[in-house]
Amino acid sequence: MKYYSDEQNKKAGSMLFYSVQVFVLLIVYSFVYTSFLAVNLTRAESSLTFMAYIPEVLASVVFPAVFYKSRQMFQNEKRVPAVGWMMGWAAMIIGLLYLHLSRLAEV
């Protein structure tokens, strides 16, 4: 007969959270990469400087810091806020990249 193990559930929850983090990281970085390509195409057509790449560079630097913060929150028994923090920042970064690209399309 198996007994309820809180430690085993904590490990399984952590593994699930980390796998979701990797999945979200791949999604966000695919958007960042696509944005890099779109900015590169726009730079070729119009006279934009390297400053057009700043939102993409910021997204690729800020997002690992957000992941580190959400992992700390998850390990400090704040599981639901950690998931919300991670998903909220991912949605905001993707939305801001779309906004940046739409502004570049108007140029």
* 3-class SS string, the chain: CCCCCHHHHHHHHHHHHHHHHHHHHHHHHHHHHHHHHHHHHHHHHCCCCHHHHHHHHHHHHHHHHHHHHHHHHHHCCCHHHHHHHHHHHHHHHHHHHHHHHHHHHHC
pLDDT exceeds 80 at position 4: no
pTM tops 0.85, yes or no? no
pLDDT band at 34 (very low <50, low <70, confident <90, very high): very high
**For position 5, what pLDDT does the model report?**
73
pLDDT digits (tens, 9 = 90+) for 65-106: 999 999 999 999 898 999 999 999 999 999 999 999 998 877
Task: Return left, alpha or beta for 2; rule: phi > 0 is left, psi -120 to 50 is alpha, else beta.
Answer: beta
